[in-house]
Chains A and B, each alone.
Chain A
């Protein structure tokens, strides 16, 4: 009794999995092959995962007792996935096996909602996915089909069909697939192009250019002497980051500010020559020193290369004018941030007393593609000479010094502990509420873990573990519930170590 070839397709809503399924069925029928397909289509919305299952007889005329509607573990011959995590899912569920399954999958990732909404980097480990793909399937055809689809002007499902044809696993000639694409009558040319691309790739006839994530480097001329100074004073392994920091801060503020950056790193280097520590501190310090105030935002929005970048991103044609509207909504604090410390504190104090703080905002929609709109942003960006006199500047420098002070005193005892403290800079980022929340989280970690560690009431090793898990906890949810739980359990575990009990806020 001849056995059908079994195919399982995992796709995301909107990838055209249903059409792909139809093409295969039609091509098989045209060849006189017994075929049956079914699907779990999900809901009408274009989100969520969809699966399709097909059985195709290997010879024309062959008829089995039944064709099944459900895939069985260990009995899938070809698995097709339109995205890497979906390939992982078929492996996780046991359908893809090293003795039998040819896995044809796109290597691009479309992050699931939990991965996207994490407060830091929440993406599933791609390395693990790729390892599972390689080890748990018999053969693989893997490439970025999303990019291939874009380059060929087609849709991903046509590329996937091409890759299936190229795999040669089904007794269906290319012409039958192409005829099915033509018969469906929609976007025929681009789908045929996508099909040809996928097939050629599966047959190893072309290599795909790896898409580069081009990194923009802050440009600033006239800091060669500062980078030279860094090279003589700081470890070579930390220099790529530190030189980037020098360039960024010179562009953000001025040469003097970049020199202050190096002074701060020198002070740390005097305590510890640990290159990894200096590199990480150099990275975080540059980010912290280039804090996001209205001037910095204006600098970014007025950058000369920005409009070209936006035009490319929104795919505006060469002769198509665009209008860009910015959403600004500064509050009292953001505006006061630009004043000198004394008046700023007075106004913020008054606003707090009268309940206006965090309630009164000044929304503005600014069109930076008009001359007057651009001029306003440009003028604000031009205020950077004034920045060192602002309240925000004074506050940030004080915070930075405290953080650096903690790192320095920890570095003398344990570079690893210093590194953990340095990493906490990741918590302090963003604007408005995000910034306040991050700062509050850092203060709690500082008071409950860093201070006892520096005072010697907590061993460095215990502190390292506790700080690392507290940092992860702080990024776990925006309400700080996980952090509260983690700190409480740390206090319990390290009981008597001087950890302060802290009520949930």
Chain B
């Protein structure tokens, strides 16, 4: 049974990204102890303290660690009776919350937003409509602003349209933990799922809070229910129940939520001396605002501010009374709300207008309409707000300092002359996916440019330098579907690239089955590296050895065959020649229909983590180990760097030419090389140059190795001098 604790063999197979043993220890802290760690881990601890009964999620920065850490905390989960589901996509995670519709059990699921919320949307709507009786919490990593890897949209929209409550806690650990715990109660008090968004910096913020004991859930794997819930059509999201649900949302659940929010003081009112002014801010960016006020000298020595501030740790629903009470009697209020559209600002406008309150409301007219609210942007907006509404406050000092910092930056940029080269993410050293794109580059030399439909995953780095391959990205697992209407209008076949993560997440059904059903004449390359590598090498259905029982789960090629794919090839990616021939065949064969190439090669990061300790142990035991790496003869290299343009390997770098007569730097393989052999393969397949050599270093050599070596060296030495 899959929901049973894993056997000891399987338990050794854990996430290879990193070990979380230290983090797991902090999850066991009890009352009287102090928790220290990151925001994500604090949330993980808080849900255990709140007596969560089941946890699920789909990996994605910045929230991956919640599930990753719990995967390693299986012993603790077993003691508490908490069920953990590592879902294969966000829709499956959202549907998990269905348990809380009928049963008094608390559940928490997590994913990356906005993308994960999009995928989960169907289940979310169907969850929010009947509502829940057990607290349901969705923790979304709001991947927004600097360091984000996805489309810039707000999870807020989903909260509004589905009537899910949205928490946006002030990013310090005590507040995050308190809100997490209260979220379950809010959910139960209003029969509504609650979403909590944490931005990238909040997920990684360090801090401490007083721990409490973990609470075993009252209904759990360890305390099972004897009977299923009684039949109740009201809990089915079908008409006519759905008409009743819609009414319940606005007439019962939202008022209950507003009462809870105000009574429990979930939003924070920071007092200030200037009663004629006010600021309303999302909790998540309250720190940026408060530091901005400090910078302008608008905080007193004891740390209290002079501008009354309403910190919205809950951004939906807004309590109309709370907002009206805060704004009433003030000359002007500034809304500090990050991202577009300005949902909160619009709501506050509506609340004030309906109640006839004539306070001037500013927001995105003074702050930016779109984009991250950085320290600079908020300071700029505050200066504008006070200049317009409170010119009695002397801000000339801070304004001068602020202008000077901006002028200094302009001066620095002038000194540097031009923008600095960017460091886009790229494939790791030895990545098994890189050779496929080297082969596609070479293919394009023969057949001409090809429409490449890209996907989400490490392979999307091929859309960046040096490959610059890719015409569109339509979402996770969508690359094959996204070529559906391109292929019919194109002379050459299209190539869709998909990772194995994307394949199981969505690509199998949205892409493969639809392409087969519509007899699409397209090429699909599935990168089979064994993990969702871009999110930290989590396990997926084709990972060798399921974490629960050590057995294999699903095989991609077998699945494709079963679905009816006729043209199917599997290549080892490092063989660039074979990959190129296979791609060429797929592009030119007379055979019509879907052609799938499974490009196989284990994620090199995961592989290195796996084999490094093994090799160290072998070396320690005195066993013979051959280490392979590549090199460049710097007097044969002429400094054209074709090899770098066809690979971009981080360990393939340039260094000054040792030749006093040549000025162009030459290629060089640094010690990061893991000996994957791609540079040699590419030099070979592209007929580049004879500079590359492969060196096999024999460690702990046998007497035979040594003898051979000595004999050869002697003869060769003599020949060289001859």
Q: Which of A41, A51, A310 contacts B693 (CB 8 A)?
A: A310
CA–CA, A27 and B333, complex, Å:
42
- Interchain nearest-CB distance for B492 vs A (Å): 18
Q: Contact between B303 and A65 (Cβ–Cβ < 8 Å)?
A: yes
Q: Residue A431 contacts which of B375, B376, B689 (CB distance < 8 angstroms)?
A: B689
Determine if A121 and B663 form an interchain contact, defined as CB atoms under 8 angstroms apart. yes
In the complex, chain B residues whose CB is within 8 Å of the CB of A216: 635, 658-659
CB contact list, B277-312 vs A, under 8 A: 286-288, 290-291, 294-295, 299-305
Q: Is A115 an interface residue (CB 8 A)?
A: yes
Q: Is A260 among interface residues, defined by CB-CB distance under 8 A?
A: no
- Contact indicator A128/B645 (Cβ below 8 Å): no
Chain A positions within 8 Å of B715 at CB level: 371
Number of A interface residues in the complex (CB < 8 A): 123
Known: A320-B698, A430-B640. Contact between A72 and B291, CB under 8 A?
yes
Contact A300 B200, beta carbon cutoff 8 Å: no
Of the listed stretches B245-253, B403-411, B516-524, name the one at the interface; the rest are far from the partner chain. Answer: B403-411
Known contacts being A45-B426, A73-B409, A94-B408, is A369 close to B688, with CB within 8 Å? no
Q: Which of A110, A117, A121, A327 is close to B684, meaning CB atoms less than 8 Å apart?
A: A327
Q: Are B408 and A431 interface neighbours, CB within 8 A?
A: no
Residues of A within 8 A of B402 (CB): 74
B157 on interface, CB distance cutoff 8 Å = no
Structural contact, A431 and B458, CB atoms closer than 8 A: no
Question: Is A264 interfacial (CB-CB < 8 Å)?
Answer: no
Chain A 325-347 per-residue mask, 1 if CB under 8 angstroms from chain B, else 0: 11111010000000000000000
Please give, as numbers and ranges, the residues of chain B lying within 8 Å of A248 by CB-CB distance: 661
Q: Flag whether A447 is at the interface (Cβ < 8 A).
A: no
Assembly CA distance A115 to B654 (angstroms) = 9
Q: Mark B422-441, 1 if CB is under 8 A from A, else 0.
A: 11111111010000000000
Q: Is B238 an interface residue (CB 8 A)?
A: no
Among B409, B431, B534, B684, which residue has the most Cβ atoms of chain A within 10 A? B409
Q: Is the CB of B421 within 8 A of A283?
A: no
Q: How far is the CB of A440 from chain B (nearest CB, A)?
A: 14
> How far is A53 from B461 in the complex, measured between Cα atoms in Å?
26
Q: Is B695's CB within 8 Å of the partner chain A?
A: yes
B466 adjacent to A113 (CB under 8 Å): yes
Nearest chain A CB to B466 CB, angstrom units: 4
Nearest neighbor of B202 in chain A, beta-carbon distance:
A69
A135 to B203, CA, bound (A): 36
- Given A41-B147, A42-B425, A72-B379, verify A129-B416 contact (CB < 8 Å): yes
A426-B664 contact in complex given A321-B709, A431-B689, C-beta closer than 8 Å: yes
Query: Contact check: which of A66, A241, A302 meets B287 at CB < 8 Å?
Result: A66
Q: Check: A254 CB closer than 8 A to any chain B CB.
A: no
- Select B712's contact among A12, A92, A369, A426, beta carbons within 8 Å: A369
Is B671 an interface residue when CB atoms closer than 8 A count as contact? yes
Contacts of B688 in A (CB 8 A): 431-434
A47 near B695 with CB under 8 A, answer no
In the assembled complex, B371 has its CB within 8 A of some CB on chain A: no
Stretch at the interface among A202-210, A220-228, A311-319, A387-395: A311-319
**Chain B: minimal CB distance from A325 (Å):** 4
Closest to A13 in B: B425
**In the bound complex, what is the Cα–Cα distance between A93 and B411 (angstroms)?**
11
A375 at the interface (CB under 8 A from B): yes
| Cβ-based interface call for A124 (8 A) | yes
Residues of B within 8 A of A115 (CB): 421, 654
- B residues less than 8 Å from A85 (CB atoms): 420-421
Q: Which of B147, B605, B664 contacts A40 (CB 8 A)?
A: B147
Q: Is B720 an interface residue (CB 8 A)?
A: yes
**Are B658 and A215 closer than 8 Å at their CB atoms?**
yes
Residues of B within 8 A of A307 (CB): 713, 716
Answer whether residue B275 sits at the interface, using C-beta atoms and an 8 A cutoff. no
| B458 in contact with A45 (CB, 8 Å) | yes
The answer, yes or no, to whether A158 is at the interface (CB within 8 Å) is no
Q: In the complex, which residues of chain A have a beta carbon less than 8 angstroms from the beta carbon of B421? A: 85, 111-115, 124
CB distance from B467 to the nearest CB of A (A): 10
Task: Identify the stretch in A29-37, A191-199, A462-470 within 8 Å (CB) of chain B at 4 or more residues.
Answer: A29-37
- Point out the residues of chain B lying under 8 angstroms from A73, CB to CB: 375-376, 405-406, 408-409
- What is the bound-complex CA distance between A42 and B205, given in angstroms? 15
CB-CB under 8 A from A317, the residues of chain B are 697, 699
B408–A136 contact, CB under 8 A?
A: yes
Does any Cβ of A come within 8 Å of B412's Cβ?
A: yes
CA distance A321 to B626 in the complex (A): 10
Among listed B41-49, B161-169, B476-484, B700-708, interface-contacting one: B700-708
Interface flag for B486 (CB, 8 Å): no
B641 within 8 A of A: yes
Choose from B299, B663, B694 the contact partner of A65 (Cβ within 8 Å). Answer: B299
Given the interface pairs A43-B61, A44-B537, A92-B412, the reply to whether A70 lies near B288 with Cβ below 8 Å is: yes
Q: Are A72 and B708 in contact (CB under 8 A)?
A: no
A69's partner among B205, B303, B409 (CB-CB below 8 A) is: B205
Q: Are A94 and B427 in contact (CB under 8 A)?
A: no
A384 within 8 A of B: no
Contact B635 A94 (CB under 8 A): no
Q: Chain A residues near B536 (CB, 8 Å)?
A: 44
Residue of A nearest to B632 (CB): A313
Question: B201 at the A/B interface (Cβ < 8 Å)?
Answer: yes
Q: Does B638 contact A (CB under 8 A)?
A: yes
Q: Is A378 close to B, CB under 8 A?
A: yes
A46-B429 in contact (CB<8A): yes
* Per-residue B-contact encoding for A283-310, CB less than 8 Å = 1, 0 else: 1001100001000010011111011001
Complex Cα spacing A215 to B666, Å: 13
Give Cα A307–Cα B631 distance, bound, in whole angstroms: 12
> Would you call A378 and B404 a contact (CB within 8 A)?
no
Query: Across the interface, do A244 and B660 meet the contact criterion of CB distance under 8 Å?
Result: yes
Chain A residue numbers with a CB within 8 Å of B379 are: 72
Q: Whose C-beta in chain A lies nearest to the C-beta of B577?
A: A363
Asked if B36 contacts A314 (CB within 8 A), the reply is: no
Q: Restricting to A375-431, which residues have a CB under 8 Å from any CB of B?
A: 375, 378, 426, 429-431
B residues near A322, Cβ cutoff 8 Å: 695-698
Q: Which residue on chain B has the smallest CB distance to residue A438?
A: B640
CB atoms of B204 and A39 under 8 A apart: yes
Q: Which residue of A lies closest to B694 (CB)?
A: A325
A120 near B706 (CB under 8 angstroms)? Answer: no
Report how far A116 CA is from B646 CA in the complex, Å: 12
Residues of B within 8 A of A91 (CB): 412, 416
The CA of A121 and the CA of B216, in the complex, are separated in Å by 63
Beta-carbon contact of A301 and B204 below 8 Å: no
A132–B416 contact, CB under 8 A? yes
**CA A88 – CA B419 in complex, angstroms?**
10
List B contacts of A323 (CB < 8 A).
Answer: 695-696, 698
Q: Is B506 an interface residue (CB 8 A)?
A: no
In the complex, what residues of A have CB within 8 A of residue B304's CB? 65
- Say yes or no: A41 contacts B204, CB within 8 Å: yes
With A73-B409, A124-B421 in contact, is A321–B301 under 8 Å at CB?
Answer: no
Q: A132-B412, A315-B671, A371-B715 are in contact. List 5 more A-B contacts (CB 8 A).
A: A63-B303, A70-B375, A297-B690, A432-B687, A433-B687
A-B contact pairs, 7 of them (CB 8 A): A1-B299, A12-B423, A40-B200, A70-B374, A113-B426, A217-B660, A430-B689
Q: Name A's B-contacting residues (CB within 8 A).
A: 1, 12-13, 25, 29, 35-49, 51, 53, 63-75, 85, 88-89, 91-94, 96-98, 110-121, 123-125, 128-129, 131-132, 135-136, 213-217, 241, 244-245, 248, 283, 286-287, 292, 297, 300-304, 306-307, 310, 313-317, 319-329, 331, 361, 363, 368-371, 374-375, 378, 426, 429-434, 438, 478
